[in-house]
Amino acid sequence: MERFPNLVTMFFTRAREKGDAPFLWAKREGAWIATSWAEAARQVASLATALRAIGIERGDRVMLVAENRPEWCLSDLAIMASGAITVPAYTTNTERDHAHIIENSGARAVIVSTQKLARTLMPAVLRSSTVQAVIGMEEMRLGQTGIGVHDWHALIAAHPADPARIAAEADFTREDTACIIYTSGTGGAPRGVMQHHGAILHNAAGCAAIIAEDFPATDEEVFLSFLPLSHAYEHTGGQHMPISLGGQIYYAESLDRLAANIEEVRPTIMFVVPRLFEVLRTRIAKAIAKQGGASAYLLERAIEIGTRDYDGRLRLVDRPMQAIVGTLFKPKIAKKFGGRMKAMVSGGAPLTPEVGLFFHAIGVTFLQGYGQTEAGPVISCNRPRAGIRMDSVGPPLADTEVRIAEDGEILVRGELVMHGYWRDEAATARVLKDGWLHTGDIGEIDAAGRIAITDRKKDLIINDKGDNVAPQKVEGMLTLQPEIGQAMIAGDRRPYMVALIVPDPEWTQGWCAANGDTCDFARLSENSDYRAALSAAVERTNKDLSVTERIRRFVLADGAFTIENEQMTPSLKIRRHVLRQVYGERMDALYRA
């Protein structure tokens, strides 16, 4: 693959090569509508020219607040093409979050998609001393703001530009900052990670090499984008990597419509997070259990044989059943995933090995990767030809150095590493030392060069005896139980582990129906039989845990951990500090019970 000097040049090169071929797809009024590469290049060039016309200068920051949609990609590319720096922001951000990002980045303009998102955004904009323009992708009625308000489409129409000219003016280098991505903050206020063009290009090339070298060639790669584009994982993997391959990008309608969109779009590659795998595993298992009969039997055999195959213990007598499963069962599962899925790439948090084994057994190829925003964000990824291990996140990408420090911390060096945190030299100095990124993750490297993650260094629980417990491992195992939907454990400087549990809502409904209960949660949480069923689930988990990891007591959460209540990040990781604020007293009381 070519070595591009910047992301803008890469895009315009691909657009020139692909011409009128479809590029970006969105569903409108029930039908998928495409934007061609040539039309995308025209809009990017025109919007870049418009941004300059309204006063955006080289190096200025432009905030981007929108759902996943073609305009997100086009705006991102246009901001960079104008010489400015993109500052993506989550659509789930609060007014306080927006105010922090605007103030910290010094954003000169904001591009926002809808009136609904503008309602949360505008109070922060109006308090800002730096924002001079607001650009709406859809019609905006903002009243008297004292700030220039522009229509996205009108700006493009009023500033027609030749893509070849704008491409020729893109003299940015791989060292120049492309975007400032604010981490979603599992442990506190988000910091702005300065990602340079070279970091994202390095990632795109490394990921593209895995697809080219480890999977059969296809005429064109098709991606289905649904993780937030404001997250580095989707921004690189779900946008710039497809651009590097000249692929097509479809934007999912919603999480609720994701399964249907997969069957319609038939993607070849998807980037997902472990939580989605956990949800899909539960849904598939329950759907097949309801069917009963041959389907339920074949699923049991598939998991049994798949597990033995993964462990290298496949017996000769397993071959006939393996053939039956491969002929009668796996094609039906493959159809649910579109029929041409090469791989689903999991990142953002560790995947519980048992969940990975389930998908391996039913014939869905998944690649667990590892990374963080500070590294482009992809550091490593499992590769089929290197041998996929469920407890591994694979070898590093090409041209990436990884080593393990004396205390077990994973260190990374290469072009993928950020230049630092925006306007935070102290935080930068803490993680960048002698060219090495100190990831804050604990891990090891096996003889085959594959990385295994133990846990976040700062999330490690150290009990009162000095023993270390990795909470994500225990939490993942708890949520494998059908009775448990979500969990967080605690026990730092304590004699044993305790848990905060969100019961699985579907299981709870079934329990209420079987026990003649109306499912009033306030009363249900005090029901001794209901709690006994949850205790049994915890005890089943404890059987597979060491003495120090076992859960002695638990408390029930008042409701699910969600993005809306700020107990989960937009990338679906639990916010431990928020949960400790809400439930800390109740969890501490478990030690006094």
**Over 507-542, what HEC string results?**
HHHHHHHHHCCCCCHHHHCCCHHHHHHHHHHHHHHH
pLDDT, the chain, mean: 92
Tell which of 182, 213, 241 closes a domain: 182
Residues 425 and 512 both lie in one domain: no
Structure token pair of residue 132: 């001079």
What DSSP state is assigned to residue 497?
Answer: E
Is the pLDDT assigned to residue 456 strictly greater than 80?
A: no
Q: What integer is the mean pLDDT of 50-60? A: 97
Cα separation, 261 vs 355, whole angstroms: 23
556 and 472, same structural domain? yes
**Looking at the domain assignment, is residue 71 inside a domain?**
yes
pLDDT-derived band at 144 (thresholds 50, 70, 90) equals confident
Neighbouring-strand partners of residue 501: 487, 556
Q: Which is higher by pLDDT, 178 or 521?
A: 178
520 falls in which pLDDT band (50, 70, 90)? confident
- pLDDT of 40 strictly over 80: yes
In a domain, 202, yes or no: no
Task: Give dist(CA 370, CA 349) in Å, integer.
Answer: 8
The pLDDT confidence band at residue 370, using thresholds 50, 70 and 90, is very high
Same domain for 513 and 375: no
Task: Name the more confident of 119 and 470.
Answer: 119
Residue 510 domain-assigned (yes or no): yes
The answer to the question of residue 209 being in a domain is no
Candidates 66, 77, 363; CA nearest to 230 is 66
The answer on 517 and 432 residing in a single domain is no
Name the 3-class secondary structure at 257.
Answer: coil
Tokens 């911390």 identify what position?
409
Is 238 exposed, middle or buried, given 0-12, 13-18 or 19+ CB atoms closer than 10 A? buried
552 and 403 housed in the same domain: no
Residues ≥6 apart with Cβ < 8 Å to 145: 122, 125, 126, 134
Residues with Cβ < 8 Å from 259, sequence gap 6 or more? 336
Kindly indicate the confidence band of residue 184, based on its pLDDT and cuts at 50, 70 and 90. low
Phi, psi dihedral angles at 488 (to 5 degrees) = -140, 135
Check: pTM over 0.75? Answer yes or no.
Answer: yes
Inter-axis angle of helices 70-81 and 7-18, nearest 10: 120
Flag whether 232 is in a domain. no
Residue 186 has pLDDT above 50, yes or no: no
Same domain for 115 and 40, yes or no, is: yes
For residue 362, being part of any structural domain is answered with: yes
575 and 430 in one domain?
Answer: no
- % of the chain at pLDDT higher than 70: 98
Q: Does residue 317 sit in the same domain as residue 174? A: no
pLDDT tens column, 269-287: 999 888 788 888 888 888 8
Number of domains in the chain: 3
* Judgement on whether residues 465 and 537 belong to the same structural domain of the protein: yes
CATH of the domain at 551: 3.30.300.30
For 425, the token pair is 């030299």
Please indicate, yes or no, whether residues 356 and 432 belong to a single structural domain of this protein: yes
Distance separating alpha carbons of residues 560 and 553, to the nearest angstrom: 19
Among 456, 471, 501, the domain-final residue is 456
| Residue 497 and residue 581 in one domain | yes
Q: What is the DSSP letter of 147?
A: S
Domain span holding position 436: 269-339+342-456
CATH number of 95's domain: 3.40.50.980
Residue at which a domain ends, from 456, 479, 509? 456
Q: What's the CATH number where 356 sits?
A: 3.40.50.12780
Check the CA dihedral 356-411-10-258 and report its sign: positive
Give the model's pLDDT for residue 371: 92
291 and 419 inside one domain = yes
